[in-house]
Structure 1
Amino acid sequence: MHKNMWMFLLVIVGIFLFYLIQKEDDVITKANVIIYTDGKTSSEKEITDIKTLESLQRVREQIKWNRYIEVKIARQEDAKLVIFKQGKQQMPEKVIQYRIWFEHTDIGATIISNAPAENVGTLNKNNAKTLEDIIYQK
């Protein structure tokens, strides 16, 4: 009886450890930014600096997503952010596109993602300011 219990416990611990080893968070490897002014592309740049990409990842984690609403915004986005993420070694690179509107109200930014799991999100003022600094390299 004790032998079976120890075997069961060993299997559970093994599965848990295997899960932890296999679980790698997606890492942003680069990001492309397109900035719009007066409805036209005013500049484009690529972000590859590791510290900046880590800051971008931290800001992304603060976005409050709502998958169940559909939003149409009358004005053109202020910026478009395209991130390239590498997950597990055998998986292909993921590309996610974000359209970003910076608001100077209590809602710091509105973000529309092409990833179905994200859809529409908002950032508070502080995180929106950080994102704005990254995008405009302030």
Structure 2
Amino acid sequence: MKKIYLLISLVTLFLIGCTDQVSDKKDLQMLSRVDVFPIVEGTKMEEFIIVDEKELSSIREIFGQVQWSPDVEAEMERMEDFQLTLFYTYDENMPERLFEYKIWFNEDGTATIISDVARENFGGLDKDGAGELKEILSVD
């Protein structure tokens, strides 16, 4: 009987030790890079990378303002205006975590965002946040 408890304990410790140290929860302060793919007339244009700390700080602030609706399944009528890949560095010795976003800028000045993260899924930005994000992404 003691052997069974020992075996169960060892298996439990092994499984706990093998779990991923970094959760899927994003910490905006760990944002280290943004790859931007502009979409023009349905064609993905040349990528550019944002690594400037001032711009990353602005993006952190803007993404902190997004109102997410995780239970909404959305499909847009047109191609997105931008595709973003956000890189999060949690530990120098671990690979970066990547999160994908598609962004549409609407005629009313707001923005719609679709995320590949299940707990975010579909989000929106008000005019101020959308305008600031559009300005950052349109530079280059």
Same fold (TM over 0.5): yes
Which residue of the partner structure matches residue 114 of structure 1? Answer: 116
1:68 aligned partner, one-letter code: D
Segments of 5+ residues of structure 2 without an aligned counterpart are 1-25
What is residue 44 of structure 2 aligned with on the other side? 41
**Matched length:** 114
Runs of 4+ in structure 1 over 6 Å off: none
| Structure-2 residue corresponding to 1:97 | 100
CA contact (8 A) 1:80 1:99 kept: yes
Q: What secondary structure sits across from 1:76 in the alignment?
A: coil
1:56-135 matches, cutoff 5 A: 56-87=59-90, 92-105=95-108, 108-135=110-137
Q: CA RMSD in A?
A: 1.9
Q: Would you say the 8 A contact 1:36–1:43 is kept in 2?
A: no
Moved more, 112-121 or 91-100: 91-100
Unmatched segments (≥5 aa) in structure 1: 1-23
- What is the identity percentage for the equivalent residue pairs of Structure 1 and Structure 2? 32
